[in-house]
Every structure is written in structure tokens, then in C-alpha cells.
Amino acid sequence: MIVDSRSIPHGSRIEADLCIVGAGAAGISIARRFAGTSTRVVVLESGGEAFEATTQDLSRGENVGLPYFPLDTARLRWLGGTTNHWGGICRPMDPEDFESKAWIPNSGWPIAERDLESYYEPARVMCGVSSGDWGLETWRQRDRFKPLPVRGDRLDTRIAQIVSPEARSFRITHRAGIQAARNVVLQCHANVTEIETNSEGTLATLFHVATLDGNRYTVAARQGVLAAGGIENPRILLASNRQWHEGVGNRNDLVGRFFLEHPRFVGGVLVPFDRRLSVGLYDHHKVGAVRLLGYLGLKQATRDQEQLVDVQMSLHPTLAGSFQRSAESEDMKALHALVPALRQGHIHQLGGHLARVAEDLTSWQALLIPGAPLPAPFPEVVGKLMRSTPFEAQALIPDLMGDIAARGYAKKFGAPIESILLRTRINAVPNPDSRVTLGDDRDPLGIPRVRLDWRLTSLDRHSVRRSLEVLGSEVGRAGLGRVRVMLDDHDGPWPEDLAGGWHHMGTTRMADDPRWGVVDRNCRVHGIRNLYIAGSSVFPTAGSGTPTLTIVALALRLADHLKGLLA
Amino acid sequence: MDPGAETARGGRKPVEIHAAPLGRLFAFLVDALLLTGVVFAFSMALDATVGPAVSFRAEEGGAGNGFMIHRDRVMLAWILNVALGAGYFIGSWARRSGRDLPSTPGQRLLRIAVGRTGGSRPITLAQATARWLLLMGPVSLCALLGIVAPASRAPVALASLAWYLILLVTTLRSPAGRGLHDRFSGSIVTVRARRAGPGSSP
């Protein structure tokens, strides 16, 4: 069931078997795994059932490292967490993502892919991913688009799946399951301000909860799970510094360190020799009901030989003139939005879309013979069109009609490509200096706001450059085109378009040795018998896939571990 | 009350078999095509005499996509074309010759005709004008506003679209196939009676 913590009596002490902090992908996955059991579960969610600016403001913080998104926009604080606006791109980690590499400092997981393998399937179902097939070969046969025809064995095409927009939000897809579970109480507007431990610091005894309207109470649970995200998890641990000045679980000064992202930027440009080079596989497309997205990377053997981290390269074609305009056309979007707006009864939106389409179509009116019962261009316009090349002619045709014609042409014959931007995404090197700490400012609950110092290494930079060079070499050998690498190998500034993937990882990393990790292989905080962490903050490395599926798989594995303890 | 429907059920007056909407639409398309062809030829003649309404020479000051509209010539074209269209439709519907109800060339092709309700007489000039205004007025108004007030084109085009949808719906819902333009002008579109041949039954 779902309750509002503002109505819980001030000063209460709530007893539970399991307390989960955070109702995002990880927290909800664990709670649903316990639904219908005899375990009393309390889930503490900072936000409500809808977006609230005052709650969201609690995420505000300071960026002092590489340029990064404003922290209050990089995650969401309400039921469902950041699944309320994620891109839905899913891919499990590859077996080699778990391996330690001698040339990558701090790499390797204490668990292997086989430890998670059986959890990826239920995780796929939880996330709403259509198919359990991730291999290129299956899709090669079914997909109308084919991988880039490069020879040699240095390049890989990998397939990710995209969850359909309506199935992405855990708030929408799992709310009913939580609401119906009698043993699960999800408390909205419940912010954890401190984790209290016993005097030895070996047992988490109380979760202190505060609401923005001043209510305060505590939750005592046999087991606790922090599942508040890759920035909030270390924040809560570090801010629990009343008993332990370094915070909870931070005896080795590792909480908040090793902050990882999937840094992304345009690292190069591929200019194809054939303007109709097929790269549709590397764009969002559908095979039956399954939404797919391909990207390129170097094969593991090549990476090992070259001593590189994995760099994924996605292809973004820039189409020739009018075709690019058609691909980005606001008028086409308005036209596409007409039917859904009509179906959903959004009359005000319908009016806007209709007006836009009408405005565009009537722009053509200036070239039509006035007073003719059917739209007929002036004779001189007809003459001009007949003398023009298709590109010149398109300048005379109104946007919408031109866009429709361009799209039709592109669908039938393929759109001519000017160039292909190569957006690189790095499986970045774990770096202890890239970290989350507490800042000087405090939020309205009195908790210090976070300070993020995001950093990358020279190996990250070298890996991008070298991966693009290998791609260029393979593309050149295959006679497909030429690649211009736009990143130098010196320690200069990173490209201006450097951004993350809204993936916060590594800040409570997993390691068997407490000197190297905050949690052990079962996600238990080293030194504390009943405190666990779920989510991507436990990832020791970022991995080549996107994190959500692995977050959920790890959460389900943790849930099964806790079930054994709580039985 | 739909007077056309009443007449169709009446016993004493001659029975009018109203024309099917699809046939009427097709007839209109034939007329529109014919008239557009004539208008296009007319525009070519205007080009030759008073000069083109649109020019593409950059030195003439064309901006953006490189064409320039000569508003005076476009206005002249509008006046002439509207007059041409009015003459075509009003002339066809109000014509009085022989025993048959009058019709446009497109309607004649589809064997339908326009007459007054309650009888088999042609409509008057005033009725024909009203019918033309209700049918072609919005298109002509849109074209005029496109010349004198381009900013108003989109809302007027939307209003016109709404008007034509109303005409379509009222025509389809009327038992006698009389849309608002028929009701306001007191007209009905009927199937042309086949002439009785020698030896046929009376």
C-alpha cells in the first residue's frame, strides 16, 4: 500500500523487517520481490506520486569537476525515481565487463556475469524490455538493416533494446503491484536524514525520517537497503556523521569516491563514399514490436591488444539538405501528433498542431493562382519547377509537403547522407579522485548538499582516439569512407559537448576487500551486518551496456539474498 | 424540417430523386478540374499581356526562397478568376433552356442537375449566386486574404475547412442530400430524368 508520511504521527517509531530507502528502479524491484510474503517491508520515498519542485530541490548540488548537468535535473525524486524520464535503452553487461584488466586501474567486479545471468530475465520483464535476445546474429536475420559491412575482426556491432515509452516508468508499471501488496508500505514524502548505528557501528539500528512540512519519525528494521541512487546513496552515508565523523560505512574513505559516468561526446565524423550507405541499424528502429538500437565498439581482443577501455560509438547521420530538414521537421512532428492528440482528447494541443500544419500548407498559397477551385501553381512556378533540380524545387514547396515527399523518397530509396557524426561513449576508468562529497550548503532538512567532482583519465581519452582510429582504418579498408578524429591525444580540455548519460555509478563500489570497496559481493556494507546498498552506486566499473537492466538484476539478486536472511 | 425530404415523400408533386453524395462530389471535381484548366490558360494569357505574377530573378528583390510576388498582378488574377468561376457555376445553374433542369458540365456528365425544391424548375439567378457564394465563397475569400492579409491565412483556412466539413456532414445527414448550401439557397440536386424513348411506357 502507499501512504503519505506527512500523516504519520510525529515522533513515531515504525518497526519493519526490511526498510528500503528509495522507490526507483532498484527499490521498487526489491519491494515487488517481497510482495505477498510475510516480510513486513517499509519503503521510504522522498517524493510523492507526482513531481514536486520543493522535493526535487533537495537534489540540488554543486559541480566542481568536469562540466556536468545541474544535479537537480540529473535524477528525479518521486515515485518511480528517474525511470519517470529515462530513455529506455537497455543492454545487459557483457561477461568481460566484470573482468579485471591489468591496464585499467581498479577494474573488475568480485562477481562474474554468471552470478547475474539468471536475474537478467526477470529484470528484463520488470523493465518492460520486449525480447530476451541480445545477440547480433538473431537480429541480423530479422532486421531489414544490416551491420556496417566492414572486413576484419576488430569491430563489433552490439544491439541494445529500447523500452517503449509507455512502459518505461516504474511508477506507472509497478504502482498497482505495490499498492496491492499488504506486506509492503510505501511511504511518500519520507526523506532519510540519518542512518543511526549501534555504538560499535556494526548494526544499522534506525532510519531517521523527515518530511518537508516538519514531521519526523524513525524506522527500525532487521535489514535495511539504501536504494536512493548513485549520488544520494553516498550522500546519506556521508551525512550520517553524528556518531561517526566520516559517515556510515566509510572507514576506508571510499564512500563517494570512484564516481563513474558514461561520458559522451562527438569524437569523430565519418564521411561515406556512398551517400546511401545503410546505417539504419544504428538508429532507433523497430523489428516487429521490438525497438532496437545498434552501436559499434572494438572487439575485446583488439581492446586487450591495444590496452584500451571500451568505447561505444553510435552513428548519427547528417542527411543532405532537405532530407535533414525533413528528419528534424517540427511540422512533421505536428502532423504526427494530430492523431494521438485527437485520440487522447487533448483538444488544446490538437488546435495547436492543426494551426501549425495549416500555417505551413497555406504558405504555399502565395505561389498558387488565386481563385482557382483546385490548388494550381502560377504558370511561371510550374516552369520554374520543371527547370529546377529536386533540391531547388524543394525550396519552393511548402515545408510540410516537401517533408512528406522527402520522407517518402528516403523510405523508398534511402536518404542521401552528408556525413555521420560518431558519438562516443566511454566505459570510463574507475578513478578515486572522481567523487561525491558533502558541500557547505544545506538543504531545507538540514542535510549538506552534495558536491560533485567528476573526472576522467588520460586512458579514457586515449581509448576514444584509438577506437576511432581503428574504426577509420576498418572503414577505409572496406572502401566505405573516411573518418576524421576530432579528439587529440594530449591532456587538453575535453570537447565542449562532453556530457554524461545521466548514469551515476561507482560511489559505493563493490569489492571483497573493504579497503577497495564499500559493499561486499552481496551488496552489504562492509562492517555493518544489516545494511545493504542497491543500485548502480555499487558498480565497480561502468560497463559497456546501459546500467538500468543490471541495476534491476542486482536488486533482484539482493532481494533473494535478503529473503534467505529474513526467512 | 427538410423540405426536400417532404417533397420526396409527397404524393401530388413530381418525385425528385436526389443525387448520391459521391456522384455530386465527383461532378464537383470534374467541374473544378475543368475550371482550373481554364484558369491556368487564362493565367498564361495574363502573363503574356500584363507580365508574370511571380518572378524568380534574384535582382528583383526576391528574398528567402528567391521568388517575388507582384501583388497588383495577383490581385488582377484573383478578380478575373473569381469572375470566371462565378460565371461558370452561376451561369450553369441559372441557365434556362429546354425542359431539363440546368447543370454544370461535370453534373451533366454524372447525370445530375440542380433545381428548386418543391418542383422541377431551375433555380433563380439569386439562388444560384447564393449557392455559389456558399460553396466557393470560402475558397475565394482565402485566396483574397492570402493576397491582402497573409497573416490571416491559417485561421481562415481552418475556418473554411470547418465550413466544408459542415457542408459535408449536413449533406450526408439530410434524407434529401441537402447540405446547408442547398437549404440556404433553396436548391436540391437531383438525378436527371431519363427522356422517354419511342415505345417506352409513360
A388 touches chain B (CB under 8 A): no
Q: Among partner residues A358, A367, A373, which is closest to B36 by beta-carbon distance?
A: A373
Q: Are A338 and A350 in contact (CB under 8 A)?
A: yes
Q: Give the pLDDT score at A394.
A: 60
Residue in the structure block whose three cell numbers are 548514469: A503
Q: Is the ipTM of this complex over 0.85?
A: no
B6 inside domain:
no
- The domain in which residue B123 lies consists of 18-189
Contact B36 A362 (CB under 8 A): no
Q: Give the pLDDT score at A398.
A: 59
Q: Are A298 and A281 in contact (CB under 8 A)?
A: no
Distance from CA of B43 to the nearest CA of A (A): 7
B199's grid cell: 415505345
Q: Give the pLDDT score at B3.
A: 41
B29, B43, B70, B75: best mutation site toward chain A, by most A Cβ within 10 Å? B43
Torsion of CA A509, A514, A520, A525, to 10 degrees: -80
Q: Are A459 and A429 in contact (CB under 8 A)?
A: yes
What mean pLDDT comes out for the span B97-114?
Answer: 87
Residue of B nearest to A354 (CA): B158
Q: Using a CB-CB distance cutoff of 8 angstroms, which residues of chain B are in contact with residue A369?
A: 39-40, 43, 77, 81
The whole-angstrom separation of Cα A271 and Cα A255 is 45
3-class SS of residue A416: coil
Residue in the structure block whose three cell numbers are 541512487: A229
Q: Could you tell me where in chain A the CATH 3.50.50.60 domains are found?
A: 2-128+166-261+430-456+502-566
Q: Give the pLDDT score at B198.
A: 41
Total number of domains in chain B: 1
Question: CB atoms < 10 A from the CB of B76, how many?
Answer: 15
What's the CA angle centered on A497, arms A64 and A161, to 5 degrees? Answer: 105
- Which residues 310-369 of A are in CB contact (within 8 Å) with B? 354-355, 358-359, 361-363, 365-369
B196 inside domain:
no
The whole-angstrom separation of Cα A256 and Cα A230 is 9
A360's grid cell: 505551413
Q: Among partner residues B40, B74, B140, which is closest to A379 by beta-carbon distance?
A: B40
B197 inside domain:
no
pLDDT > 70 in chain B, percent: 82
Determine the residue type at A315: L
What mean pLDDT comes out for the span B99-119?
Answer: 87
Average pLDDT, chain B: 80
Segments of chain A with pLDDT less than 50: none
Determine the residue type at A142: R
B28 inside domain:
yes
A60 touches chain B (CB under 8 A): no
Query: If you count residue pairs, one on A and one on B, with CB atoms under 8 Å apart, how many are there?
Result: 97
Distance from CA of B29 to the nearest CA of A (A): 9
Q: Using a CB-CB distance cutoff of 8 angstroms, which residues of chain B are in contact with residue A379?
A: 40, 43-44, 47, 52
Q: Give the pLDDT score at A432.
A: 97
Q: Three-class SS string for B123-153?
A: CCHHHHHHHHHHHHHHHHHHHHHHHHCHHHH
B42 inside domain:
yes
The Cβ-side half-sphere exposure at B146, using a 13 Å CA radius, reads 29
B18-75 pLDDT per residue, tens: 888 889 999 999 999 999 999 999 999 988 898 888 877 554 333 345 677 888 899 9
The whole-angstrom separation of Cα B162 and Cα B139 is 12
Q: Which CATH architecture has domain A2-128+166-261+430-456+502-566?
A: 3-Layer(bba) Sandwich (3.50)
The whole-angstrom separation of Cα A177 and Cα A495 is 45
Contact A373 B136 (CB under 8 A): yes
Q: Which of A454, A465, A522, A122 lies closest to A298 in space, CA to CA?
A: A465
